[in-house]
Amino acid sequence: MADDSLSAFLAGAAAAIGARHVVTDPADQARHLVEWRGLYRGETPAVLRPGTTAEVAEIVRLAAATRTPLVPQGGNTGLVGGQIPVPGAGEVVVSLERLDRIRAVDAAGYTVTVEAGATLEAVHAAAEAVDRLFPLTLASQGSCRIGGNVSTNAGGTAVLSYGNTRDLVLGLEVVLADGRVLNGLRRLRKDNAGYDLKQLFIGTEGTLGIVTAAVLKLLPRPREVAVAFVGLDGPAEALALLARARDEAGSSVTGFEVMAGGAVAFALRHLAGARRPTAADHPWYVLVEISSGAADGTARRLLETALAEAIEAGEVADAVVASSLGQAAEFWRLRHGLSEVQRHEGASIKHDVSVPLADLPAFLVEAEAAVRAAFPGCRPVPFGHMGDGNIHFNVSQPIGADGAAFLARWDEMNAVVHAVVRRYDGSVAAEHGVGRLKRDLLAETRDPVEIELMRRLKTTLDPLGILNPGRVIQAP
């Protein structure tokens, strides 16, 4: 991009949104340019902070006229480099943070209309205030923002019962690549009036349009939640327990997280005040949560019945049902801490994969064997959303080894794990998306017909290639 077209763009942007919202000071830019784990560090001519949808639209119009590449950014919690501007590429960041209003809460209609910059936590609070539930649950919910959740089709721990973000979106407002606004903020649960255009912008990581607002589904708020921490021998036993729990409680099973014993050991060692819920150590653990609409002991009764059956069948070694909200929160804190505590054990290489649910036990056995064979001494500490077949297959370095040398073999480790994933027709980007990290991997692992179709969509919807360029798919 020529300097003068960038200058023209920035001058136009300043006129459109106010000069003070065109952030060029490096200190003020800093929090937008570093991915939280430090894996990506970006550079940008400016961070733009529009305050309205009309301002976002004007920015995109100017960008189209000047061929300025734009990188939309929400809470900057992404894990695949999508939201970080590539150094030297002249990419301008469009932060949606100032579009953070809850536009409307409709308790009787079970919807909330929010702008892209609202944090997930703010949406939870708005729902709770009218005795409703917005079920999307992520470890980053205090900082991630709805626009990012929608653009990445965020998953989390409640997908088993409530679906991914895609399943929770009723309507979208989107700024298209030419600056026009798609007004799709409908609050309808059934609408087959033509193509469902919002699907084009959910999970496409800001490459086809910039989401500025969304209508989200709300649900009845559970009156009672029962949580158990369960010790068992392996993932096959966990799968059997899942079937028992769902047989007993159906879609009221709102959480089913599996954790390798090693992963839990890390949390017990490094998480302040953490204690092992079970009396003894076990090779694997499960956190299971059942919710119910009535506050009459139903959830706890269903959970205890499923656990009793599993214990009788020899599938479960030990199980502790939380006796208070505080204890339940403590079980969840252990689970949510698993990712963070790994840094205390040196370097780790991560995989965000999914396989068909029934294949998960076999996948875990094979993947663990494969990485142990290829990386002697390495410590696989997988955990994840068993109910969705989605595992964060993380591998910590051997004790005492050189962390940098271990990390240097990142691609090699990925190849070993992904080979097993592909044998099971799994996904190498289950919930964190593709971004920059997995773009080339995507092109390798997907059918050429699929890749060509993705390219065609990209060139159809963003013919100038100005929206989050190079993320997800390389335009032709």
User: Beta-carbon neighbour count of residue 386 at 10 Å?
Assistant: 26
* CB closer to a second copy out of 18 and 297: 297
Is 474 a binder of a second copy (CB under 8 A)? no
Considering only residues 56 to 75 of the shown chain, the ones binding a second copy according to CB under 8 A are none
Q: Is 312 in the site for a second copy (CB under 8 A)?
A: no
| Of positions 23, 100, 101, 163, contacts a second copy by CB under 8 A | 163
CA 173, distance to chain mean position in Å, is 21
Is position 222 an interface residue for a second copy (rule: CB under 8 A)? yes
Binding status of residue 390 toward a second copy by CB under 8 A = yes
The stretch among 23-31, 278-286, 381-389, 401-409 that binds a second copy (CB under 8 A) is 381-389
Residues in 177-216 that interact with a second copy by CB under 8 A: 180-184, 186-197, 199-200, 202-204, 208
C-alpha span between 218 and 211 (Å, rounded): 19
Q: How many CB atoms lie within 10 A of CB 109?
A: 15
Tell me which residues in 99-128 interact with a second copy (CB under 8 A). 106, 108-111
The DSSP-derived string for 238-299 is HHHHHHHHHHHHGGGEEEEEEEEHHHHHHHHHHSTT---SSSS--SEEEEEEEEESSSSSHH
- Closest approach of a second copy to the CB of residue 345, in Å: 26
Residue 6 C-beta: closest distance to a second copy, Å: 28
Residue 111: strand pairing partners: 106, 217
Q: Measured from the CB atom, is 143 or 445 closer to a second copy?
A: 445
Residue 359 binds to a second copy (criterion: CB under 8 A)? yes
3-state secondary structure 55-83: HHHHHHHHHHHHCCCEEEECCCCCCCCCC
* Residue closest to 264 by CA, chosen among 337, 356, 204: 337
Compute the least distance from the CB of residue 362 to a second copy, in Å.
11
278 burial class (0-12, 13-18, 19+ CB within 10 angstroms)? middle
Q: Does 176 bind a second copy (CB under 8 A)?
A: yes
64: its two tokens? 């189209």
3-state class (DSSP) for residue 171: strand
> Can you tell me which of 220, 281, 377, 440 binds a second copy, judged by CB under 8 A?
220
Q: Give the residue, chosen from 19, 129, 294, 325, that forms a contact with a second copy under the rule CB under 8 A.
A: 294
Q: Among 282, 300, 385, 392, which residue sits at the site for a second copy (rule: CB under 8 A)?
A: 385
Rounded (to 5) percent helix, strand, coil in the chain: 40, 20, 40
Gap between the Cα atoms of 237 and 293, Å rounded = 28
**90 vs 184 by CB, closer to a second copy:** 184
Is 32 or 385 the residue whose CB approaches a second copy more closely?
385
**Closer by beta carbon to a second copy, 53 or else 354:** 354
Q: Taking CB under 8 A as the criterion, which residues in 4-23 touch a second copy? A: none
Residue number with CB closer to a second copy (105 or 268)? 105
- Rounded CA gap, 67 and 392, in Å? 38
How near is the Cβ of 1 to a second copy at its closest, in Å? 26
Retrieve residue 219's tokens: 């649900």
Residue 247, interface with a second copy (CB under 8 A)?
A: yes
Taking every pair of Cα atoms in the chain, the longest distance, rounded to a whole number of angstroms, is: 74
Shortest Å, Cβ 234 to a second copy: 15
Out of 150, 211, 310, 430, point to the residue binding a second copy (CB under 8 A). 430
**In this complex, which beta carbon is closest to a second copy, that of residue 41 or of residue 223?**
223
Task: Give 247 or 402: the residue with its C-beta nearer to a second copy.
Answer: 247
Q: Which of 76, 140, 161, 414 binds a second copy (CB under 8 A)?
A: 161
Q: Return the range that interacts with a second copy (CB under 8 A); candidates 119-127, 227-235, 357-365, 366-374.
A: 357-365
Binding flag, residue 129, a second copy (CB under 8 A): no
Tell whether residue 419 is a contact of a second copy (CB under 8 A).
no
Q: How many CB atoms lie within 10 A of CB 324?
A: 8
Q: Which is nearer to a second copy, 203 or 262 (CB)?
A: 203
Q: If we measure between CA atoms, which residue out of 82, 69, 94, 90 comes closest to residue 35? A: 82
Give the amino acid at 441: L
**Is there binding between residue 172 and a second copy (CB under 8 A)?**
no
CB-CB neighbours of 119 under 10 Å? 22
Q: Tell me the pairing of strands 111-115 and 102-106.
A: antiparallel
- d(C-alpha 221, C-alpha 85), whole Å: 39
Q: x/- string (CB under 8 A) for a second copy, residues 36-55?
A: --------------------
Report the SS3 class of residue 213.
strand
Number of residues that bind a second copy (CB under 8 A): 97
Pick out residues in 433-472 that bind a second copy (CB under 8 A): 433-434, 438, 442, 445-447, 449-451, 453-454, 456-457, 460-461, 472
**Which of 219, 265, 370, 464 contacts a second copy by CB under 8 A?**
219
CB of 43: closest distance to a second copy in angstroms? 27
User: In terms of Cα–Cα distance, which of 119, 122, 117 is closest to 56?
Assistant: 117
* C-beta of 195 vs 273, nearer to a second copy: 195
Mapped onto helix, strand or coil, the DSSP state of residue 304 is: helix
